[in-house]
Chain A
Amino acid sequence: MKDVLIALNKIKELGVIDDYAIGGAVAAAFYIEAVNTEDVDVFLFLSPSQNSLLLSLSPIYDALQRLGGVIDREYVVFGDWPVQILPAYKPLIEAAIKHAELVQYDDVESKIFSPEYLCAIALDTSRMKDFYRVATFIEQKKVDRKILDELIDEYQLGDKTLKVLNWNEP
């Protein structure tokens, strides 16, 4: 994982990407207990020069390959970790990257989604495991309910909360 974070920081420093943040189960594991996952979800803003109508991820894949990554289907693999590159494709994801939290993994600095954005994105994604993740955040009191409620209003996710079994718990 350390190699992944070093590579991501490097391509940001080189200007290949504008910014990034880790989401999904790897980010959630920072706050709550770990669950199995196949890959690291890396959400990113492309550098301004790359923001054209024809969006291409090949400069990112090329840069990561030069830093030791191995391309395997849609992933770039570093050691044990396949990395999935996901451009910010909707306003909720863009906001999540902007409000990501700075964290340390060993001695490497990185950015991960905040608990509130992880929950909002999980509600938006709406798979069974996403509802379970939100329930776990609530159960372990790791999410600011006021901020999450604001995100739910802003991104119209209210109907999704009905599927979270412990949503009405304080």
Chain B
Amino acid sequence: MKYLAKDDSKCIQCGLCEEICSSTYFKTKDKAKSCILIANDGKPEINVCNQCGKCIDICPVEAIKRDKLGVVRINKKDCVGCFMCVGFCPENAMRQHDDYIEAFKCIACGLCAKKCPSGAIFIAEKDDSEAKERVCAD
């Protein structure tokens, strides 16, 4: 499945990925509205969804689904804004901002990877059999 892969050691904390993400999806340069987050205290740490799909099972209205490329996406129309997916994300990579009543997340669009000057983030494919099994468990 498609996901945004990362290599923390290559990150130079320039913040371009956050800028492009929030600009694309929320028309503003605000890292609080970015799906990817770079720790800027101490050594670089990239926090972003790995498309594990745990949130699919948590959602009470089945508004979160995996698309045909394996990317986990939120259907905003169905989302009831409970934010359980935020609380239960094992990666702490499901995002929430008080300006919006739905959660948001990385959909591996790759725009940030194109901007990244150091190659710390890149679109990759990984085996999704384990993740698919989890999603079918219910």
B partners with A: no
